[in-house]
Structure 1
Amino acid sequence: MELPTMQQTPPSVSLPVNLVADLQDSLLMAMTDLQRLEGLLDHATSNLLERFGSANQALGQLGVDRADELVPIQHTLHQAVTELQFHDMATQLIVHTGKVLQSCAWRLADQTMEPDEGEVPLNLDPMPERPSPVTQSEMDAGSIDLF
């Protein structure tokens, strides 16, 4: 005896359009805030690099006779510049999070709102495959995905 086949429909949740629109707006505002944060980080990092360069140059002009005193200071400055790689990690994380938020906002709209007459369907960007491009939680350990 053959059992009848039943089509399984995925579970769904009904939400008011206003709620979905508000949620989408909030996701897009968070994305905008992340872009502003990225700009602030870029500006601060640029200033830091300039100041480290100026300090290193000033140390170099103090004279050769004090080289024994200056070498450890210059070494510390070089290490500080290397540690500014934090900017790269933070920027990668901000960009990744922005992509996730944007994808969520567009998918939410696509799944819950009827397209306007004559509107072209959204070509949704895929959700990023990895949870995060930066697995480092402190400056001394972790890994970074290089682009």
Structure 2
Amino acid sequence: MQSSPDTPSEPAVQISLLVAADVQDALLTVMHDLNRLEGLLNHATDNLLARFGEANASLTDAAVAGNQQLATLREALRSAVTELQFHDMATQLISHTSRVLQGCAFRLAAETMGDSDGEAAADAELMPGRPNPVTQSEMEAGSVELF
């Protein structure tokens, strides 16, 4: 990276174009892997919700409605569905991380290869302002934490 004329006091590190391209490729590969991970999480969560729905429907049949053990089991299923909030938090974190990586890759390209037609301004918008979009560390049934 070279220091720009408007910020002469910033330290600069010289890296080769090949190294910058390799780092950018690695960042974009990680972004792709994160997108695949998000798809896998979505698929697994959809399947889990379907299975929980099937189990709950079986347990709400009128023939088994009075059984206390089955009522306990239905409550356990409700709690398990609450635990699936993990999916929402995980996909938010994956999305945030992907935006950070994409912003880094584009900034690296702009710094080493130069801007063209205001790309740097567009790339700066990709970088999230908050360091971590998911601040909740635990979940309990009935509690809601907005983040």
Q: TM-score, normalised by structure 1?
A: 0.82
Measured against aligned partners, the alpha-carbon deviations of 1:81-120 in whole angstroms (never above 9, x if no partner) come to 11100000000000000000000000011111145xxx53
Counterpart of 2:90 in 1: which secondary structure? Answer: helix
Amino acid at match of 2:13: V
Amino acid at match of 1:131: P
Q: 1:120 to 1:65 in 2, by over 3 A?
A: closer
Larger Rg: 1
Q: How many residues align?
A: 136
Corresponding position: 1:120 with 2:117 = yes
Instruction: Give the Cα separation in 2 of the matches to 1:13 and 1:38.
Output: 35
| Higher fraction of helix | 2
Instruction: Give the Cα separation in 1 of the matches to 2:96 and 2:8.
Output: 34
Structure 1 residues without counterparts, runs of 5 or longer: 1-6
Residue 102 of structure 1 is matched in structure 2 by 102
* Contact map agreement 1:135 1:144 (CA 8 A) in 2: no
Counterpart of 1:134 in 2: which secondary structure? Answer: coil
Counterpart of 1:131 in 2: which secondary structure? Answer: coil
Q: TM-score, normalised by structure 2?
A: 0.82
Q: 1:90 to 1:12 in 2, by over 3 A?
A: same
Residue 81 of structure 1 is matched in structure 2 by 81
- Measured after TM superposition, the shift of residue 15 of structure 1 is 0.4
Residue 72 of structure 2 is matched in structure 1 by 72
Structure 2 residues without counterparts, runs of 5 or longer: 1-6
* Contact map agreement 1:56 1:77 (CA 8 A) in 2: yes
Instruction: Give the Cα separation in 2 of the matches to 1:144 and 1:25.
Output: 35
Measured against aligned partners, the alpha-carbon deviations of 1:54-92 in whole angstroms (never above 9, x if no partner) come to 001111226146432221111110111111000000000
Residue 49 of structure 2 is matched in structure 1 by 49
Corresponding position: 1:132 with 2:132 = yes
